[in-house]
Structure 1
Amino acid sequence: MEGRLNPWLQIWIQPREVINQQLERENREKYFILMVMVYGTLSVFTGYEQNDMDVNIGRIILISIVAGVLLGPLIFYFTSWLTAVVGRWIGGRGEPGDLRVATVRGAYIPGLAIIAVNLIQLAVEGKIYFVSSYAQFEAMQLGLIEGTSEYPLISILTYIAVVWTFVINVNAVGAAHGFSAWKALLLVVIIGFIIAIPLVLVTMLLVSFGLI
């Protein structure tokens, strides 16, 4: 009988096996809401970007907590439901609960690697981490700063973390639906179009009315 795999460690190298085991667990979604809120807060915090040099860390932390706690669970349940529904269009068998397991175990936990690299970058750069590249370039042109914040090693680590997290996520979704990682990749592309098309249409409509 296959031994119990550690979902925090072995998800990195055995994503399908870990997800298959987690799907069979009783009370498999225990602590999920808390994990989603924490992950959402950290994601918003490390992904925050502004177009001016006046950085208020307290305000960024507050925005991150509110967004992570309120929007995190909503996005989590919606995307899990959508991935389950669209997956069944192409032969999958996963239910929303199965995709919630795949999302937390196969996307959020590996995603902590990206957050960790971003936090290292924040520790190195300081407040300028939250300033967009465009704003940094303008400030450099005005002589307010000596140069933009670019660290090749951190960029490489971020790239590796993003790519590997995506690979794990695709395999996790495939395991939850009972099909291959390639089919799961197709599913991700379809969902991308489903989400992107309405956003593009709304943007075009707002532009046509001169609202943006």
Structure 2
Amino acid sequence: MPNSAFPYRLYLVISEADCRNSNYLQVAEQAIKGGVDIIQLREKNLSTEQYTAKAIRLKEITDKYNIPLIINDSLETAMNVNAFGIHVGNNDKRPTEIRNAWKDCQSLGYSIEFIEQLQNKETQTADCLGISPVFNTATKKDTIREWGLEGITAIRSLTSKPLIAIGNMNLSNAEAVIKSGADCLAVVSAICSAPNPEKTAYELKNTILKSLQIQ
């Protein structure tokens, strides 16, 4: 069964660029109505001031629906807006540093690129692990490897921490990813670029829930 300490099944990773011709705030709200449980704001090329301003606007929506807001990479932005948590990768501030600096962090996510990382202190400090990418995707180009379904299964066998699968997640592979051991699907383009984000989120969420019942 999925980890009850991490009750989120459909995780939206959003940026203004990924939403293309749609307003990212409207996409976020529609996705929440469709079933998204948690949202991460990921903006790579903004100043802290710009990032914070954008996060404040998004947090007004997530707070309205009681949805946790995660900030990607920027500890300062996460603390500025009193976010629910933060998600970092290997080239960002280390989880041990974040834990020391931000005592109120409720969710510290960390992306795994090598199986050996499961043994290190940074991974052990994190609350949940991002398996990135499961499948290669244009939205994230700075990756080391593609994990595939076998990678999820391998990591699942070595840790009890919640696993967030990201990388070209969509309706065609959602069931297989959950059955391979992921607790949660992190979706970018499938929702952000969808003509109807609410409908897509609804379909994804129901696929995930049905897959969990099968296990």
Q: What's the TM-score once normalised by structure 1's chain length?
A: 0.23
The structure where helix makes up a greater share of residues is 1
Structure of greater Rg: 1
